[in-house]
Structure 1
Amino acid sequence: MIPTATYRIQFRNGMTFDRAAALVPYLKRLGISHFYASPIFTATFGSTHGYDVTNANEIDPTIGGREGFERLSIALKDNGLGLILDIVPNHMAASLENPWWRDVVENGEQSRYARYFDINWDRKLTLPFLGDTFEAVIEAGDIAVKKDPKTGKPAFAYYETFYPLSPPTYEGREAELLAITDEADILAIHEEQPYRLMSWRDAPKDLSYRRFFEITGLVGVRVEDPEVFDDTHRLILELVRSGKVDGLRVDHVDGLADPKAYLERLRQEAGPECYITVEKILGEGEQIPTDWPISGTTGYEFIAALSDILVDNNGLSELRQAYHQLTGKPAEMEEELRKAKLLMADNNFAGEVSNLLRLAMEIQTASDSSDEIPEADVKSALRELLVAFPVYRTYGTLDGMPAESRQRLHEVVETVRRGPHAPGEQALTFLSGILSGEGQTSGPSGEFRVRFQQLTGPLMAKSVEDTLFFRHHAALALNEVGSEPLPRLHSLDRFHAEMQTRLERQPDGLSGTSTHDTKRGEDARARLYALSEAPDLWAKAVNRWREMNRASVKILDDGPAPEPEIEWMLYQALVGVWPTDLRHDDAVGLKALEERLTAYVEKSLREAKLRTNWSDVNEAYEGAVLGYARNLLSPQNETFLIDFTDTLRPFLRAGLVNSITQTIVKLTAPGVPDIYQGSEGLDLSLVDPDNRREPDFETLQQQFTETDVLASAQEDEWQTGRLKQQVVAVLLRLRQEVPSLFRKGRYLPLEVSGKREDNVVAFARVDEEDALIVIAPRLVFSALYTGSDETPEDRWAETEVVLPAELSSLRYRDIYTGKAFDPKDRLSVNWAFADHPFALLRAE
């Protein structure tokens, strides 16, 4: 049941099962083996993504319900496609639309679902959904006791929301309660409830339940409890066992108390044939645990690996220098990462840290040790351990920690111990002992271990992906999910080594380039990689554009808006998102782009958490920056727009080449290629919600022709995405024809020699029966730049791919042109690239 290629569809926002079913014949023609669906279970009203599940055992009626799902299932089976579902075991919606959660709100710890959610029942259930404190809301007259129009029972009415009262607090005196208007009486009734209504602003420091990252509207689910697993997976497993679902994608597996135990149970229940992958961010040098019964991850690490092919390492250093010169403050990224993590630990996740500290002090009190460690010392050590974690988490359980995780923990502890912010040794030793499982294991120590591990992942994600990557803009293409926050070397050797490891460790994992969570679409990223090839040209352009738009900069009390680093970011973002066919004088197109860009800019500024943020909006600052962004795209700003589009042209061309190379590599390297909706054409999207817009499926279907003969290599075929679409289709059909070559075939890096040896990536996939040589261009900006005096005929002259003995004795045929090759021990790149600037040569 291993896919040869998956195609991700985002349901909701107009996408229903019936609309998806109509796309199935096109996906079959494209060469897709498995339809990959975003969450389909009932979610909160108006949900745009489906991760806020309210009923895990009902298919959402808003996208077609069970009947619509059955029609899609039939369409898939009729066309020979499998189905992979995205499931969400870690959390559900903390919404009254969720019947389980509503029952907990109404009945508190007596609810049959009280242990379904990760709630600390040592205190009242916190409901942080008010605009102010409960007292202030009463005083403003915004809350009262009224009948819930849906149930007829007394409830706290807060605008359109009705929070049910616990039955023992109103039974026999409904009329009395409904007549209450006095503030003191309302407060008294509130005190009787098993919950406490509170301001959303207090959630980071005062929450009684585990949430998903820092989203208070998503509550953690205890799937480690067998009963909870059964009740949350009943429909999922029914669909798998019925043969309607062939694979499962597990969302945020690192949020679970015990990922390994969960996956073992899931595998046991779903059976050995079910294809299972997990959403997991892998840090530098990290691999998925070998004892997890899965096929691999969803592929963020593959995105990071591709940058080793397409980024000019030397140029990247110059690009960063130009950025630091502009901002006047060279960034020490290790210190910046520390600042971001401390911000998360001390503010956004302050409540979670406090709970860990409370547990630690309880463990110390219950221990036999005569040496009492001050709480301040324990807190300091706890913060330093959290901040020092280089990966999402270790995998200890209530009973202890496996050897691999213990080694990781030891490395982290030693890093803290030797670092400039080392806490007290006694406190550090105390906490590392709890975490490693030395001495006492279960009970409070086990709970501390699990809670700590469930926090390091969110803290890392929010610090890096949703803070640091929105603060430092030297190279936006590298600010991507799965990428490293600290600068590193980019080289072909690293890429080849990573692919060989990938073949060994997860040959059946997904290889993604765009997802619903990436910061940019794959073709926007491919274009921005090219900036590393022309850092001087780029820096001069930014300086020129800043001068042109100087009048749009506002001087505020806290500094200029936008500041220089934000101007740099705006121009890079605009380069990435600029449609290939948008002219500088297209007022309608510019307006449409402005709407997308300004939404991105607002999110970027708030995620950075520097001069504004989501909870404390700096309207003057945001307004000034958004005004600057709008002015960039104003038809009246003609001088800038002409200069910008002229400067963009060579980057656009180099980006299109990068896009084809990226696509070819994804479809031929180890792993299962995952195509995000619409990205078989050009994907120039920005961060969500922009990347969750529905693509133009009608155009994609109309322009697609089922042929092995590639579209003309004229530039318009590249710019429309038609060439990319055809490259995808031909390679996907090859993957279906010889699946074992791509799943199990060896990955052989090939040496390139000669004049353009640094501008070619080459490798082969080889098994006992087949061989495929892959040759693609890289770092071609200078060759395509209009200032180059090199002719296309000379571009790849004097450059050869060196073939090892096992490949040199074979004849080959280009899978696109049909041209035959008999290269012996060397293959001329100029000859291979005669018809199009890439070659895929299959042994005959």
Structure 2
Amino acid sequence: MTPERPDPVVPTATYRLQLQRDFPFGAAEAAVPYLASLGVSHLHLSPVLEAVPGSTHGYDVVDHARVREELGGEDGLRALARTARAHGLGLVVDIVPNHMAMSPRHNRALWEVLREGPKSPYARWFDIDWEAQGGQLLLPVLGGPLGEVLDELRVDGDVLRYYDHVFPLREGTEDLSLPHLLDAQWYRPVWWRLARTELNYRRFFSISELIGVRVEDPEVFEATHDKILKLLHEGVIDGLRIDHPDGLADPDGYLTRLHEATGGRWTVVEKILADGEHLPASWPVAGTTGYDALRHVDGVFADPAGFGDLLGHYRRFAAPQTDRGGQWEATVRRAAYKVLTHELATETDRLTRVATRLCASSPEPALRDRAPWALRTALQELLVRMEVYRPYESTGAASVVTEEAAAEARHAFAVPEEAGAVDVVRDLVLGRYGDGPAHVEFRTRFAQTSSALRAKSVEDTAFYRYVPLLSATEVGGDPGRPALSPEEFHAYCARLQRDWPLTGTVVSTHDTKRSADVRAALNVLTECPERWADVLTEVTRDGAGVPDAQLAWAAWQTVFGLGPAEPERVQGALLKHVREAGLFTSWTEQEPPYEEAVERFVAAGPCGAPGERIAAFRESLREHIRANVLGTALVHLTMPGVPDVYQGTEAEALALVDPDNRRAVDYPPRDSGGTSADKAALTRAALAVRARRPGAFGDTATYMPLPARGAAAGHCLAFARSGEVVTAVTRLSLRLAEAGGWQDTTLTLPPGRWSDALRPDRAFTGQVAPAELFTDLPVALLERTGD
């Protein structure tokens, strides 16, 4: 019996669950009564299709035709859906169109390609350059150069084995000697370090274990989406989250095809928008997964003036040398050069080869006689100046690959005539020399490389090198300008309500480097930069054992934001921090002496006796941290869009970067009191209001800022939703207290009688003093109850 779809299909609020072997469909099903009681309308599931065994995230898909057996298989998913329906909940599922796991023994489609080569019917699935590397697909799996590990490869019947790796043998090659057998395959196992420069398949960012999938091919789209679409049409699931559309050859075309195939189901895309960038208006989606909302919510709780002072202290304390004085833009640029020439060298090579072939064969005189080195230089200089993730066909490339960027790029050439390569490359990106297959390939490769470069250089490198305020180093964030005014926040919300009213919004996800509550605590430091500097002077007085001052600054902020925690959690996050930064060690070139020094410093300092001083300082700011935690939560749950509550964050949740933030959650959670209990009550109340008054928050709702008046007006952030609900929160509460409190400040409510959903015994009308509104809590959620 097919379960009926819930009404409405469009979520009012979702709750994200990280499925894994230790938290399968059965565990999610057991949690349904509790989750339904929160007031969400849908459960948001991490990927459910078959993945590499033991995967803790599910983004390494190996079979699109099956629901993951480790989670309980399709029967388990359908049982979860039935139980959810019985409690009034629907399901939204995360899907991964861009890539699959590079694991032949689990990925049968890839297995067939390795066995049969480009003639395999599955060869069209994968983005492989068969013209490179002598027609063999490079597999970067060996622990050393082939000559050093040849004895560790062995033939076992019709397969080749290398430790846990298993590869099929091309028919008729089983009896060849090992060197000749390797030459006869459609693939070539190579030293893992060659992935940097020699790969001939597209991958996810610089992760060689994930191979790109060509969903732009209609047959590949149908094969990889058949199971998900059946689950949609049978009412098992209601909506989709699309992982990393920027990696696709044609995001515009893919989303159009998906929209048609789903019948227009609610769909959001993991699109990271740069400051000032807008989602393409032509995309048939509800909006983004919400990182743009995260930046705006965080930003309104940071003090712009205080951040400037904090930045000054950071420069003096950390003395960052890698970015020429601690400038964010310079840090990003330097990181981009490093990523292009190291992690993405193979992608740059392939793009250069396409450009070189185009120029050599073009009848256009302007394209002829362009040296490969000049084209490569032009490509690099334009790519590092991209300020967004990529261009799109629907919006045009001229607005993102700008003439200003080209003018700067020309300075990389000593001879003006050679600088003409920049104009050649830019014109090719803009499509000014035609739309032949090679031209389309170049534009596609440029966009895909740009996307990978932006992610790797900003999210995975610069965010770990530029650390004056760790709360700003978040996906979609702008660490160079982390603080936003209330006016900027209101303008963003008004635009969201007008253009994308059903978009997703988040403040914590499986990918955030710090949970919202950790970031809320860190934002308080922008209100007391001098006191923070004094505390650091105190805890670092002797300076002993500090491997580098920039890491030390980040480490002290980490324990301030996290609060008391197990040392191994801090150690793990900071080890990841220094490897991602890549200044003294990295994932691929690890420096054990430096990493050991980091571990000793963290154990003796932030996690040792000096860390107690940081804990005491944090405790002295407890009420102001509480104001930020509760304010962030309430704004998120009532602003335009569909809020997504990440697992466990309905109460206070203090987590660092993955895997710390992906730990399993117990349901129902234990009541730990204090801020956590306040946040849990607030979450329930806000979600209940959304459920009671869906019209106040949906696509036909309105958003109206409510400016306060008086000496402390800037500390009250308030807005009304459709004249039915009012949100009011305290911002920069420490600055407020230091300035003498609310004094004569007032807030004028819209007409009507208003009841406080957080304190139902209270009611207000007309003009209200924030001092009265925020007596017990630094936030208020009002419902209109009468004229």
Specify every segment of 5 or more residues in structure 2 that has no aligned partner in the other structure, as ranges.
1-8
CA distance in 1, matches of 2:612, 2:75: 53
Partner AA of 1:247 in structure 2: G
CA distance in 2, matches of 1:681, 1:409: 41
Aligned equivalent of 1:566: 551
CA distance in 2, matches of 1:742, 1:50: 32
**Which of 576, 599, 617 is the equivalent residue of 1:647?**
617
Partner AA of 1:110 in structure 2: K
Contact 2:17–2:46 (CA under 8 A) maintained in structure 1: yes
Partner AA of 1:346 in structure 2: T
Within the alignment, does 1:834 sit opposite 2:780 as a pair? no
**Which of 360, 366, 377 is the equivalent residue of 1:365?**
360
3-state SS in 2 of match to 1:754? coil
Aligned equivalent of 2:3: none
CA distance in 2, matches of 1:418, 1:633: 43
Aligned equivalent of 2:374: 377
**Which of 112, 115, 128 is the equivalent residue of 1:106?**
115
Within the alignment, does 1:234 sit opposite 2:243 as a pair? no
CA distance in 2, matches of 1:797, 1:818: 26
Offset at residue 390 of structure 1 (A): 0.6
Within the alignment, does 1:728 sit opposite 2:722 as a pair? no
Specify every segment of 5 or more residues in structure 1 that has no aligned partner in the other structure, as ranges.
148-152, 178-184, 397-401, 554-560, 580-589, 704-715
Aligned equivalent of 1:276: 267
Contact 1:88–1:250 (CA under 8 A) maintained in structure 2: yes
CA distance in 2, matches of 1:816, 1:319: 35
Aligned equivalent of 1:799: 745
Within the alignment, does 1:219 sit opposite 2:211 as a pair? yes
3-state SS in 2 of match to 1:694? coil
Offset at residue 419 of structure 1 (A): 5.9
CA distance in 2, matches of 1:446, 1:597: 46
Aligned equivalent of 2:581: 608
Within the alignment, does 1:812 sit opposite 2:754 as a pair? yes
Offset at residue 416 of structure 1 (A): 2.7
Within the alignment, does 1:130 sit opposite 2:142 as a pair? yes
Within the alignment, does 1:65 sit opposite 2:81 as a pair? no
**Which of 493, 500, 504 is the equivalent residue of 1:506?**
500
Within the alignment, does 1:356 sit opposite 2:351 as a pair? yes
**Offset from partner CA, 1:455-511 (integer Å, 9 cap, x none):** 111100110110001112110000001112533652111111111111122111111
Within the alignment, does 1:407 sit opposite 2:419 as a pair? no
CA distance in 1, matches of 2:422, 2:277: 25
**Which of 256, 259, 268 is the equivalent residue of 1:267?**
259
3-state SS in 1 of match to 2:476? coil
CA distance in 1, matches of 2:354, 2:298: 42
Matching of residues 351-500 of structure 1 within 5 Å: 351-370=346-365, 371-396=368-393, 402=394, 404-410=395-401, 412-418=402-408, 421=411, 423=413, 424-487=418-481, 490-500=484-494
Offset at residue 292 of structure 1 (A): 0.9
Matching of residues 596-635 of structure 1 within 5 Å: 596-632=569-605
3-state SS in 1 of match to 2:31? helix
Aligned equivalent of 2:694: 739
Aligned equivalent of 1:683: 653
Structure 1 residues 361 and 485, CA gap change in structure 2 (3 angstroms): farther
Offset at residue 641 of structure 1 (A): 4.2
Within the alignment, does 1:522 sit opposite 2:534 as a pair? no
Aligned equivalent of 2:315: 324
CA distance in 1, matches of 2:720, 2:57: 39
CA distance in 1, matches of 2:575, 2:210: 23
Offset at residue 652 of structure 1 (A): 3.4
Offset at residue 408 of structure 1 (A): 1.5
Aligned equivalent of 1:706: none
CA distance in 2, matches of 1:449, 1:40: 33
Contact 2:95–2:240 (CA under 8 A) maintained in structure 1: yes
Partner AA of 1:817 in structure 2: R
Aligned equivalent of 1:76: 84
Contact 2:500–2:641 (CA under 8 A) maintained in structure 1: yes
Contact 1:574–1:597 (CA under 8 A) maintained in structure 2: yes
**Offset from partner CA, 1:520-544 (integer Å, 9 cap, x none):** 0110010000010000000111111
Moved over 4 A (4+): 422-425, 819-822
Aligned equivalent of 1:146: 156
Within the alignment, does 1:344 sit opposite 2:316 as a pair? no
Structure 1 residues 834 and 652, CA gap change in structure 2 (3 angstroms): closer
3-state SS in 2 of match to 1:388? coil
Aligned equivalent of 1:777: 730
Offset at residue 421 of structure 1 (A): 3.6
Offset at residue 356 of structure 1 (A): 0.7
CA distance in 1, matches of 2:535, 2:479: 26
- Once the two structures are overlaid, the 10-residue window that deviates more, 372-381 or 262-271, is 372-381
**Offset from partner CA, 1:148-169 (integer Å, 9 cap, x none):** xxxxx2x322123222210132
Within the alignment, does 1:306 sit opposite 2:315 as a pair? no
Partner AA of 1:21 in structure 2: E
CA distance in 1, matches of 2:529, 2:739: 20
Offset at residue 124 of structure 1 (A): 1.2
Q: TM-score, normalised by structure 1?
A: 0.88
**Offset from partner CA, 1:75-115 (integer Å, 9 cap, x none):** 01111101001000100011021101111111111221111
CA distance in 1, matches of 2:278, 2:50: 34
Matching of residues 650-669 of structure 1 within 5 Å: 650-669=620-639
Offset at residue 779 of structure 1 (A): 0.6
RMSD: 1.8
Q: State, as a whole percentage, how many aligned pairs show the same letter.
A: 35
Contact 1:656–1:718 (CA under 8 A) maintained in structure 2: no
Contact 1:811–1:820 (CA under 8 A) maintained in structure 2: no
Structure 1 residues 40 and 488, CA gap change in structure 2 (3 angstroms): closer
**Offset from partner CA, 1:636-681 (integer Å, 9 cap, x none):** x44x244222211133332221010011101111011100000001
3-state SS in 2 of match to 1:394? coil
3-state SS in 1 of match to 2:93? strand
CA distance in 1, matches of 2:602, 2:410: 41
- Once the two structures are overlaid, the 10-residue window that deviates more, 516-525 or 320-329, is 320-329
3-state SS in 2 of match to 1:269? helix
Aligned equivalent of 2:165: 161
CA distance in 2, matches of 1:725, 1:467: 35
Contact 1:385–1:413 (CA under 8 A) maintained in structure 2: no
CA distance in 2, matches of 1:21, 1:617: 42
Structure 1 residues 160 and 830, CA gap change in structure 2 (3 angstroms): closer
Within the alignment, does 1:671 sit opposite 2:641 as a pair? yes
Partner AA of 1:816 in structure 2: L
Partner AA of 2:684 in structure 1: A
Partner AA of 1:514 in structure 2: S
Structure 1 residues 698 and 731, CA gap change in structure 2 (3 angstroms): closer
**Which of 309, 321, 328 is the equivalent residue of 1:333?**
328
Q: TM-score, normalised by structure 2?
A: 0.94
Contact 2:301–2:483 (CA under 8 A) maintained in structure 1: no
CA distance in 2, matches of 1:817, 1:685: 29
**Offset from partner CA, 1:776-796 (integer Å, 9 cap, x none):** 101112466xxx696xxxx43
Contact 2:255–2:285 (CA under 8 A) maintained in structure 1: yes
Contact 1:17–1:72 (CA under 8 A) maintained in structure 2: yes
Offset at residue 418 of structure 1 (A): 4.2
Structure 1 residues 575 and 10, CA gap change in structure 2 (3 angstroms): same
3-state SS in 1 of match to 2:66? strand
Contact 1:384–1:421 (CA under 8 A) maintained in structure 2: no
Offset at residue 628 of structure 1 (A): 1.0
CA distance in 2, matches of 1:755, 1:322: 29
Aligned equivalent of 2:124: 115
CA distance in 2, matches of 1:642, 1:130: 46
CA distance in 1, matches of 2:611, 2:327: 34
